Amino acid sequence: MCLGIPGEVIELMADPSGQESDLAMVSVEGVKRAVNIGLLREDGQLDLEPGDWILIHVGFALSKIDEKEAKASLEFLMGLGDAYTDELEALAASDIT
């Protein structure tokens, strides 16, 4: 139950009266579900739009996923793996028939 899963925001949902609500429609591995985004609202402000990714836990968004940080993390790993990528590039460049 403690596992969190990433999902992509599809739509910020309105309540029945058309007012902004605390729900967003989110896609997780192609499955669409409503998720409560109230914990991402600070001083009433919500910095979230369709296309953003969030971490979901027991029906609530706990955090907006920072794509720049994710890329930085992968770049760090790629930096460590230079030898591996060199090998991949060499493989891609090879033309064994």
> 20, 32, 49, 62: which one contacts another protein (CB under 8 A)?
62
Task: Write phi, then psi, for 17 (nearest 5 degrees).
Answer: -85, 5
Could you say which of 12, 13, 48, 65 contacts another protein (CB under 8 A)? Answer: 65
Degrees, nearest 5: CA angle 59-60-63? 140
Cβ–Cβ under 8 Å, residues 50 and 10: yes
* In the chain, alpha helices (H): 67-80, 82-93
13 touches another protein by CB under 8 A: no
48 binds another protein per the rule CB under 8 A: no
Interface residues with another protein (CB under 8 A)? 1-4, 6, 36, 38-42, 53, 55, 57-60, 62-63, 65-67, 69-74, 76-78, 80-81, 83-84, 88
